[in-house]
Amino acid sequence: VKLIWSREEEFLRDTLRPMGVARFRAGLDGDGLPVALDGVAVGEGPTGRWFGRQPDKVDSSAVEGIAGKVYAIPNRRVGQVHVDDPAIIGFWRSVGHSINDFFYETFFDEMADAGQQDPYELRLRLLADSPRHSNLLQAVADLSGGWKRGPFAAEDGSRRARGGCRP
């Protein structure tokens, strides 16, 4: 008895993650600290697809990973531009978080750079009111050998650093 699909059957019959694009804008004060953040997710979330889209509401599954961030940025707006996904989409682990967190945190690095701030120090500063998150960030930095700015040279001499994308 065969209980699993082949790779070909998997892609033909299973649901896919939703497509996603996001656009961010930020306002910085004279010290280079963020005072406003506008994030818009473009796409369709599985909640709206499977349980009925409400035309005047943001689909929470489309903006997870953008909405609800604990960084102390005083003025925030999160929105969604609904675009129907041509594929059959479904719930995978971390649906919105898997793409939107990458978009958000990459933009955060660009925002820190624009304000001439160290991205790690800026995150710690904006997490000061959230000990749980700031302790986690510090623990990750410590366990990874400490925060260092790139670019980095690997043992083989090649240069490596974080990646980012920009339209």
Residue 1 within a domain: no
Structural domains counted in the chain: 1
Q: What would the mean pLDDT of 130-148 be, rounded to a whole number?
A: 90
CA dist 59 and 74 (Å) reads: 23
Q: What is the pLDDT of residue 167?
A: 41
The answer to which of 22-36, 43-57, 61-75, 77-91 has the lowest mean pLDDT is: 43-57
Residue 165 within a domain: no
CB atoms within 10 A of CB 67: 18
Q: What is the pLDDT of residue 108?
A: 96
Residue 125 within a domain: no
CA dist 74 and 111 (Å) reads: 15
Domain ranges, residue 70: 7-117
Q: What is the pLDDT of residue 166?
A: 44
Residue 160 within a domain: no
> Residue 97 — pLDDT band, cuts 50, 70, 90?
confident
**pLDDT at residue 22 is higher than 90:** yes
Residue 72 within a domain: yes
Selected residue with higher pLDDT from 121 and 152? 121
**pLDDT at residue 126 is higher than 90:** yes
Residue 100 within a domain: yes
> Residue 160 — pLDDT band, cuts 50, 70, 90?
low
Looking at the DSSP bridge assignments, the partners of residue 77 are 38
Residue 147 within a domain: no
CB atoms within 10 A of CB 112: 21
Q: What is the pLDDT of residue 98?
A: 83
154 class by beta-carbon count within 10 Å (0-12 exposed, 13-18 middle, 19+ buried): exposed
> Residue 67 — pLDDT band, cuts 50, 70, 90?
very high
**pLDDT at residue 46 is higher than 60:** yes
